[in-house]
Chain A
């Protein structure tokens, strides 16, 4: 039995796919995008305990059962070499939600971009949570972090959710090779795919990985009928990059696939990202202009948000 490591569950979300959906945010991501607006979901907690000392509510404590995994300052554990260990994870820090007031002191304290406020859940436990929201929703969306990082857990929990009569959409950063995983593809309704940048150098600077696999996924998922939507974030000081990305994505998209151009907003972005991208919101006019461009290139279902 696998354990999912989950940052949070939003019972009713109107912004994570079509209709009203329960959104599950998995902890841990293989990219480190500079514009990430919830960077505390990027890494797994290493149990350094700095947050335990700072928590004003005593809602956090060390989990003696986990033992400590010493990590050099500035480095993070558990992410080297692809997917993290899923065999027997226990939380290094125990979090008591009933004491927590969501002041986020722990997140501000953490040097590892890892929230200690996560839940370790079995597939059955997550299914039981979703059973309560099931009467009111159109489906479930798995987001993150990067949910495909916990692929084996997805394989356990998605069939249980489908038994509730609900479909599952994955929100992915595009770095998972969906073509190589027909089993996963068979049990999901579709993928909401990020296309972060087209220019290889810019993409690497921005995310830590190149654009090749996300674009390959776009083509493949579209062919397979599993491309629910594509999202691109537009940055305030990079109009040429924005246009290059939108052109590359839009020219490949079929007219019916929804293409969302999300204007960058600085909220939640870490200092490193603010230094590179700035503290401004991308102008609405640029969003409208690029959405029109995308529509003219064939992605007729393009909108800016």
Chain B
């Protein structure tokens, strides 16, 4: 078995990474979950991509437990009583995290940490609370070794949120990913400014449009993994993607794409999703016996399927015969307008398809602008982003994002890289975020050029860790290898820096 031997002999894999690779290999030996010939043909042509989810799903892709149950009822399976103080609360969380599966085998959602922990933090001396939270973050970074591990804070201010941001700055860790649920009407200005400051120094937190998510999901939503909007006590069954550029290669014209090609590939993706969701619910044991389900930490009816896509920009440019991305989608009104037509059409298709076991989303799947994987290379930009290297000045980039973010309740986002001078003026960054969220932006990420922790496409890695892999050494973080791929093949760290003169408006 050379595939297994390759894994076992790979010097850049840690023990745990080898174990996961071997599990994936084992899973791939069963082929009882079959799809149509057309599906496999489309997958081979790269028009469809299953994100290597594995052929035999034994858990939903993303699981977002309602951690508050742990604090009110405890957990019978893990023999945990409700915690009485901060040390117990953090210990209980770490124990539960260990048992939350996902596509990566690490928990992709750690909870709304401020809401969960604030009552305990307030009972402790601030320095002691900070010490415990620091140990908690350190343990997360060193044991949940995957940048798709994600925690949320906000929208209100809290001591816990402040301490987490202080520690994030001091410790400079890539894990966990962090989101501030931001609502200018609720989030105090000084707390938001602290978050901007922390974001510029550490590439996190990102800012989520709280009002927009609440309208779609209600108050109990989670931001998980990269930037995925899902229900708390729920999650996402599966996330396959249309590679829209490759889809567009099958079209004779714009109308042909909208009338024939897009519905054709969307149907094949529905086939994949329907079969997979049914398999997870009906065949695998997760929803029947896992304690997260039987004790109510998640409810099956709160899960949905995520209909993903990448490469809208390249798709529009190809259909219009535009070769230079600097003259294409996002910078050319005709191409951007075509992007909206494609998204309107795709929304119709997704809205028309009855999805199994998706009660919380009206028996429909939800769109997701996927952040891309390293093997996408330069053919498909993440989701609906403007390709790296072609980004216009920030004002125009925001304006394009604002048109496309509302399509994606299960997540989308864009990343802005700032020049050093902005670090001294967080009060100049906040109005940009605030203004853009008010105009339809869903999710804003930023970082400062020359940081060690950088945001690649949606997840965080350390440049110094990528360098380790490049030198043939191991990196503890499972995601570093994706960051290396995105850097090497997608130029992901070369995105435009917001300099003064680049915002120049002719």
A residues with a Cβ closer than 8 A to B are 8-15, 18-21, 97-98, 100, 119, 129, 132-133, 135-138
Task: Jot down 19 A-B pairs with beta carbons below 8 A, ordered by A.
Answer: A9-B504, A9-B505, A10-B500, A10-B504, A11-B394, A11-B505, A12-B432, A15-B500, A19-B425, A19-B428, A20-B425, A20-B427, A20-B429, A20-B432, A97-B506, A129-B505, A133-B395, A136-B435, A136-B436
Task: Kindly list chain A residues whose C-beta atoms are within 8 Å of the C-beta of B424.
Answer: 14
Once the chains bind, are A135 and B435 in contact (CB under 8 Å)? yes
Bound together, the chains give a CA A87 to CA B449 distance in angstroms of 46
Number of interface residues of B (CB under 8 A): 26
Residues of B within 8 A of A8 (CB): 504-505
Question: Is the beta-carbon distance between B438 and A135 smaller than 8 angstroms?
Answer: yes
What is the 8 Å Cβ interface bit string for chain B, positions 215-247, against chain A (1 contact, 0 not)? 000000000000000000000000000000000
* CB <8 Å contact, A11 and B428: no
Complex Cα distance, B429 from A21, in Å, reads: 10
Bound-state CA distance A15–B394 (Å) is 16
| Partner pick for A132 among B394, B395, B501, CB 8 A cutoff | B395
Provide the B427-445 mask, 1 if CB < 8 A to any CB of A, else 0. 1110110111011000000
Task: Check if B503 sits within 8 Å of A137, measured CB to CB.
Answer: no
Complex Cα distance A161/B398, Å?
A: 22
Set A9, A11, A20, A97: member contacting B431, Cβ < 8 A: A20
Question: Which residues of B pack against A, CB within 8 Å?
Answer: 393-395, 398-399, 421-422, 424-425, 427-429, 431-432, 434-436, 438-439, 498, 500-501, 503-506
Q: Which of A9, A12, A15 contacts B498 (CB 8 A)?
A: A12
- Closest residue of chain B to A139, judged by CB? B431
Q: How far is the CA of A98 from the CA of B431 in the complex (A)?
A: 29
Residue of B with least CB distance to A97: B506
Residues of the A chain whose Cβ atoms lie less than 8 Å from the Cβ of B427: 18-20
Which residues on A sit within 8 Å (CB–CB) of B399?
A: 132
Question: Which chain B positions have C-beta within 8 A of A135?
Answer: 435-436, 438-439
CB distance from B123 to the nearest CB of A (A): 38
Q: Which residues of B contact A9 (CB under 8 A)?
A: 504-505
What residues of chain A lie closer than 8 Å to B439, measured between beta carbons?
A: 135
A137 to B394, CA, bound (A): 13
A11 to B500, CA, bound (A): 9
B398 to chain A: closest residue by CB? A136
B20 to chain A, nearest CB (A): 43
Q: A12 to chain B: which residues have CB within 8 Å?
A: 394-395, 428, 432, 498, 503
* A-B interface, 9 closest residue pairs, ranked by CB to CB distance from nearest: A97-B506, A136-B435, A14-B428, A135-B435, A20-B428, A14-B425, A11-B503, A11-B395, A9-B505
Please, which residue of chain A has its CB at the minimum distance from the CB of B395?
A11
- The answer to whether A136 and B432 touch (CB under 8 A), given A12-B394, A14-B421, is yes
Closest B residue, CB atoms, query A134: B435
> Closest approach, in angstroms, between the C-beta of A285 and any C-beta of chain B?
19
B394 — nearest CB in chain A belongs to which residue?
Answer: A12
Collect the chain A residues with CB atoms within 8 Å of residue B428's CB. 12, 14, 19-21, 138
Kindly report which residue of chain B lies nearest to residue A25, judged by CB atoms. B504
* Cross-chain contact B431 with A137 (CB below 8 angstroms): yes
B435 touches A11 (CB 8 A): no
Instruction: Indicate if the CB atoms of B421 and A15 lie closer than 8 Å.
Output: yes
Q: What residues of A have a CB within 8 angstroms of the CB of B435 in the complex?
A: 135-137
- Cα A276 to Cα B209 with chains together (Å): 53
* Chain B neighbourhood of A100, CB < 8 A: 506
Q: Which residue of A lies closest to B422 (CB)?
A: A14
Complex CA–CA separation, A14 to B196 (angstroms): 14
CB distance from B320 to the nearest CB of A (A): 19
For residue B506, which residue of chain A has the nearest CB? A97
Question: Which residues on B sit within 8 Å (CB–CB) of A119?
Answer: 506
Nearest chain-B residue to A117 (Cβ)? Answer: B506
Residues of A within 8 A of B505 (CB): 8-11, 129
Chain A residue nearest in CB terms to B418 = A14
User: In whole angstroms, what is the CA distance A109 to B470 when docked?
Assistant: 47
* Besides the known contacts A11-B394, A14-B425, A100-B506, 8 further A-B residue pairs in the complex with CB atoms under 8 A apart: A10-B501, A10-B504, A12-B395, A14-B421, A20-B425, A132-B399, A133-B395, A135-B439
Q: Which residues of chain B are within 8 angstroms of A10 by Cβ–Cβ distance? A: 500-501, 503-505
Interface centre among B427, B428, B503 (most CB of A within 10 A): B428
* Min CB–CB distance B192 → chain A (angstroms): 13
Beta-carbon contact of A136 and B504 below 8 Å? no
CA distance A119 to B505 in the complex (A): 11
